[in-house]
Amino acid sequence: MIQFEAVHKRFPNGTTAVHDLSLDMPEGGVTVFVGSSGCGKTTSLRMINRMVDPTSGTIRVGGRNVLEQDAAELRRSIGYVIQQAGLFPHRTVLDNIATVPLLLGWGRKKARAAAGDLLERVGLAPEMGRRYPHQLSGGQQQRVGVARALAADPPVLLMDEPFGAVDPVVRTQLQDELLRLQRELNKTIVFVTHDIDEAVRLGDRIAVFRTGGHLVQCASPAELLARPADDFVADFLGAERGLKLLSLTALVDVKQGAAPDGGPWELVLDGARKPVVWRERGGAGGAEVPVRPLRDTDSLLSALNESIASPSGLVARVDAEGVLTGVSSRSDIHSAAGDAHLRGAGNGATSPDGGAPAPEPSAPTAATPRGSAPDPAAQSPQGLDLPAPADAPADGKSGRGVA
Amino acid sequence: MSFDWEWVGSHRDDLATLTVSHLQAALTAVLLGLLISLPLAVLAHRVRPLRGFLLGLSNVLFTIPSIAVFVLLLPVSGLTRTTTVIGLTIYTLVVLLRNTVEGLDSVPQKTKEAAKAMGTRPLRTLLTVELPLALPVIMAGVRIATVMSISLVSVATYIGDGGLGQLFTDGFQRNFPTPVIVGVVLTLLLALVADALLVGVQRLLTPWARTRTRKA
Amino acid sequence: MYELFKDLGAWLVSGDQWGGADGIAQRLAEHLQYSLLATLIAAAIALPVGLLIGHTGRGAFLAINLSSFGRALPTVGLVVLVFLASGLSMWPVYIALVALAVPSIVTNTYAGMTAVDPEVKDAARGQGMRAHQVLFQVELPLALPLIMTGLRLALIQVVATATIAAYVSFGGLGRYVFDGLAQRDLVQVLGGAVLVALVAVVLDLALSGLQRLLFRHRPSTLKSA
Instruction: For residue B36, give its domain range.
Output: 15-206
CATH code of residue A393: 3.10.580
Residue A284 lies in a domain: yes
- pLDDT score of C201: 85
CA angle A244, A246, A250 (to 5 degrees): 135
Residue B73 lies in a domain: yes
Q: What percent of chain A has pLDDT over 90?
A: 32
Q: What is the pLDDT of residues A300-326, one digit of tens each?
A: 888 888 888 888 888 888 888 888 888
Q: What is the pLDDT of residues B156-191, one digit of tens each?
A: 888 888 889 899 988 888 888 899 999 999 999 999
Q: What is the pLDDT of residues A199-252, one digit of tens each?
A: 988 999 999 998 888 998 998 888 888 888 888 888 888 878 778 888 887 888
Q: Which of B71, B79, B190, B195 should we substitute to test contact with C (largest number of C Cβ atoms within 10 Å)?
A: B71
B172 min Cα distance to partner chain C (Å): 6
Cβ within 8 Å of residue A283, ≥6 positions away? none
* Domains in chain A, number: 1
Residue B4 lies in a domain: no
- How far apart are the C-alpha atoms of A107 and A116, rounded to whole Å? 14
CATH code of residue B97: 1.10.3720.10
Residue A391 lies in a domain: yes
Instruction: Provide ipTM, 2 decimals.
Output: 0.81
Q: Does C42 touch chain B (CB under 8 A)?
A: no
- pLDDT score of B119: 81
Q: Identify whether the C-beta of residue B40 lies closer than 8 Å to the C-beta of residue B89.
A: no
Residue B37 lies in a domain: yes
- pLDDT score of A281: 79
Judged by CB atoms within 8 Å, which residues 150-169 of A form the interface with C? 158
Q: Which DSSP string do the residues of C66-92 spell out, in sequence order?
A: HHHHHHHS-HHHHHHHHHHHH-SSSHH
- Tally B–C CB contacts below 8 A: 129
Cβ within 8 Å of residue A160, ≥6 positions away? A42, A45, A46, A80, A81, A82, A83, A192
Judged by CB atoms within 8 Å, which residues 86-145 of B form the interface with C? 143-144
Residue A77 lies in a domain: no
Q: What is the pTM of this model?
A: 0.74
Q: Partners of A214 in the beta sheet?
A: A210
* Domains in chain B, number: 1
Other residues' Cβ atoms within 10 Å of the Cβ of residue A370: 12
Residue A195 lies in a domain: no
C210 min Cα distance to partner chain A (Å): 17
Residue A20 lies in a domain: no
- How far apart are the C-alpha atoms of A340 and A357, rounded to whole Å? 12
Residue C125 has pLDDT above 90, yes or no: yes
Collect all residues of chain C within an 8 Å Cβ-Cβ radius of residue B150.
72
Q: Identify whether the C-beta of residue B88 lies closer than 8 Å to the C-beta of residue B153.
A: yes
Q: What is the pLDDT of residues C45-57, one digit of tens each?
A: 999 999 999 888 8
Residue B9 lies in a domain: no
Q: Which of these, C24, C168, C29, C147, lies nearest to C94 by C-alpha position?
A: C168
Q: Identify whether the C-beta of residue A220 lies closer than 8 Å to the C-beta of residue A206.
A: yes
Collect all residues of chain C within an 8 Å Cβ-Cβ radius of residue A80.
123, 126-127
Measured between CB atoms, which of B69, B177, B192 is closest to C81?
A: B177
Q: Identify whether the C-beta of residue A51 lies closer than 8 Å to the C-beta of residue A227.
A: no
pLDDT in tens, chain A (403 residues): 899 999 999 998 888 899 999 999 989 899 999 988 888 899 999 999 999 999 999 999 999 999 999 999 999 999 999 887 788 988 899 999 999 999 998 989 999 999 999 999 888 999 999 999 888 988 899 999 999 999 989 999 999 999 888 888 889 999 999 999 999 899 999 999 998 889 988 999 999 998 888 998 998 888 888 888 888 888 888 878 778 888 887 888 788 888 777 778 888 888 888 888 888 877 667 788 888 888 888 888 888 888 888 888 888 888 888 888 888 888 888 888 777 776 654 444 333 333 333 333 333 333 333 333 344 443 434 434 434 333 334 433 333 333 3
Alpha-helical regions (H) of chain C: 2-13, 15-18, 24-56, 60-72, 75-86, 91-114, 118-126, 131-133, 140-161, 174-183, 186-214
- CATH number belonging to domain C2-222: 1.10.3720.10
Q: What percent of chain C has pLDDT over 70?
A: 95
pLDDT in tens, chain B (216 residues): 678 888 888 888 889 999 999 999 999 999 999 999 999 999 998 888 888 888 888 877 776 777 778 877 887 888 888 999 999 999 899 889 988 998 998 888 888 888 888 888 888 888 888 888 888 889 989 998 999 999 999 988 888 888 898 999 888 888 888 999 999 999 999 999 999 999 899 888 888 776 554 433
